[in-house]
Amino acid sequence: MIIPDHIFRTYDIRGVYPDEINEESAYHIGRAFGTLVRGKGWFDCVVGRDNRTSSEPLSKAVIRGLTDSGCNVIYTGLTTNPQIHFFTRHESFHGGVNITASHNPLQFNGIKLDLNGAVPVWGIGLKELREVCLKENYVSGEGAVQEKDLSESYVKYVTSKFTSLKSGKIVVDSGTGAAGVSAKKIFEKLGLNTVFLHCEPDSSFPLGPPDPEGEVMQKRLSSEVLEHGADIGFALDTDGDRLNVVDEKGKSYRSDEILMLISEDMLKRYPGGQVVYDVKCTGLLDNVIKKAGGIPKMTATGRSIILNEMNKSLLGGEFSGHIYIGGDDYLGYDDGIFTALTVLKIIQEHNLPLSALMSSYPRLPSTLEIKVDVSDKEKPGVMETVRRLVSDMVKNEDRIIRVLYIDGVRAYISETGWFLIRSSNTSPYLSVRAEGKDQEELDALLSITEEILKKALNN
């Protein structure tokens, strides 16, 4: 079976439906994953999906592939990524599949794969999966299928961690994505005074793809919090693993800022714990974590990479809205609903509004993530040129004083001023960020970045 190579991305499988990913390719991916599961002596898989129109037919095709490989499948229907992780960790499933393209536009869809213990299939594992598809080197069998709602065990576990929460007034906006269903069950079971907005799934995404990192969803949440006089607001993405947080004044906080708050809280109970964060995050995290008695570690962007670090970390975070809570608090993976409740618990324990708690952390002038459109085919060449140009600038002592090559290029012009240029692993663009001590330094960083990108793109 020929499947486009580029849809096998670093962390998942993702492409345009039906041109790049369709029922036929989904069937073969199911056969290949089933072969992988059976090869480990396992049989039992769980399959869920988000609420895109194409997700149901794709999930059914994957299930056929799994059962034709001899796997038994429980189909859970509308499901979030954290639920699939939970089921492969707590419900003894050997494999987990979620059909979702997260925050990508409606024409996209994708497949995320877990092995037992919420271990992601990514990187080399996905390349090997594609090779199995190409050779159609499958095992065969006759597995059984059962449709069953497993959400109650997940809801019960999450709510058990937050029984001391007081009501307050909360806004939750899931942007008509799949996460709204779980959020409503959990917040209602906890008896929280919650305004649920756009929490009914709508496959047409009338408000646009639910992307808590995006400006549209952030502005909407801010206005909703102010309109309802809420204490706090949370926006969730399509598949429930990311969030955005807004305080009672309507101010929005990035996930790296929220990570500072959670770091200080958790390090009081787990002194000496490691906190891992990706290269897109603020440079302020290093000092905040050290001051709180923790060990900071910067790493490459990507759920699978952070998860690998979570084996020896207390807490993790990505600039894009993923926060990973470990220790005895949670299971070490990214769950937007669990993170929202954690933030709510912190502000209630301090008996202070979020704005007051966040005011203790400095906020340096910085950009949001800037996306520079570059095709998947051109990205490797462009990034190679970027690395060469930055290396030459360091050698020539031309403004740049040091560089980190953890993921793309994170270059410093001072101890506080840095810019990042990296290749997105999920979409056809370069990801760019910059942070400086003041607006003047930020402007200088953006000028250098523009200069480098212009040369690299015209090379």
Lookup result for tokens 């952390």: 361
| CA atoms in the 13 A half-sphere facing the CB of 132 | 23
**Active-site residue, 355 included:** no
User: For residue 287, how many other CB atoms are within 10 A of its CB?
Assistant: 12
Measured between alpha carbons, how far is 129 from 131 in angstroms, rounded to an integer?
5
Q: CA quadruple 280, 285, 287, 290: dihedral positive or negative?
A: negative
Are residues 182 and 234 in contact, defined by beta-carbon separation less than 8 angstroms? no
Q: Token digits for 42?
A: 């396992």
Measured between alpha carbons, how far is 75 from 62 in angstroms, rounded to an integer?
11
DSSP E strand stretches across 116-151: 119-120, 145-147
**Which strand (E) or helix (H) includes residue 99?**
strand 95-99
- Residue 83's DSSP bridge partners are none
Rounded to the nearest 10 degrees, what angle do helices 151-160 and 81-90 cross at? 90
User: For residue 100, how many other CB atoms are within 10 A of its CB?
Assistant: 33
Lookup result for tokens 């704005």: 355
From 59, 102, 222, 255, active-site residue: 102
Listed residue (97, 125, 104) closest to 16, CA to CA: 104
Measured between alpha carbons, how far is 64 from 177 in angstroms, rounded to an integer?
26
Contacts (Cβ under 8 Å, ≥6 apart) of 279: 298, 299, 300, 301, 404, 406, 407, 408, 410, 420, 422
> Do β-strands 402-404 and 95-99 pair in parallel, antiparallel, or remain unpaired?
unpaired
Q: Would you please indicate which residues are annotated as catalytic (active-site) residues?
A: 102
